Amino acid sequence: MPSKNTHANEGATRRKLIETGVRLFGLHGFEATSTRALATAADANLGSISYHFGGKEGLYRAVLEHIVEIKMAEIGPGLDRVLTVCADASASREKLLETLRVLVRTMVGVMIGGEQSQAFSQIMMQEQIAPTASFDLLYSGFFEKVQAAWAAVLGRLTGLPTDNRELRLRTLSIMGQFVIFRVGMAATLRRLDCEKLSDEIMECIVRFGIQQVEAIVDGFTPVDQPGCACGRQEDRI
């Protein structure tokens, strides 16, 4: 029977391989990252990848599951609160706007802040550019839930149903204004002449984001014009 030390060592090796996978898959992508490079960087036996994960594909899936778990631990409770408020038909417009502001602040912190966020975001961006067989795990575990919360609050504030195509496009457009700071981090830092985003800059991004989103919902006018299928129910996404 394996000893407790053996189980502990195996658990440590598994965690180390996942942590190494986050870094190397993020830097080089799935195809360009070899099992040998992963094992060497994790100071593990080459066979340990097959033993713990069944191969590189299994390790990559475990990395994505790890990312979803961490990200949802950070943002999940906030998303649940958004959905709870939006489900309350008696929630005032000010309450909905305050929920929107909190969601902006949460998104900025989760998507932009921290070194871990950078490593996670590199993999998440790669999956959207060149999806692997494991993309559904990221989409259903994270992206879809974030988008649903945004759609819920924007739907209440604009009057558009959450299954409306225009609302979904607006949701993605609004989310994009925060994601760009992560995707374009190198250019952002060069433009701001700094080595990292300070707390002051992060707070500015939050304030700008709140101001821009509030301006959109305050001056909202549907773009569904004759010949435009954005809001047509038969073209729901």
Q: What is the pTM of this model?
A: 0.84
The answer to whether 108 and 210 are in contact (CB under 8 A) is: no
For residue 1, pLDDT beyond 50? no
Helix (H, G, I), strand (E, B), or coil: what is residue 54? Answer: coil
Query: What is the end-to-end Cα distance of the chain in Å, rounded?
Result: 53
Q: Ranked by mean pLDDT, which of 3-17, 170-184, 221-235 comes out on top?
A: 170-184
Q: Which domains does the chain have, with CATH numbers?
A: 1-54 (1.10.10.60), 67-219 (1.10.357.10)
Query: DSSP letter string over 101-155?
Result: HHHHHHHHHHHHSSHHHHHHHHHHHHHHHS--TTHHHHIIIIIHHHHHHHHHHHH
Lowest mean pLDDT among 133-142, 183-192, 220-229: 220-229
* Token pair of 103 as six digits: 């969601």
CA distance 126 to 98: 33
* Average pLDDT rounded to a whole number, residues 158-171: 92
- Residues 80-114 pLDDT 10s: 999 999 999 999 999 999 999 999 999 898 888 76
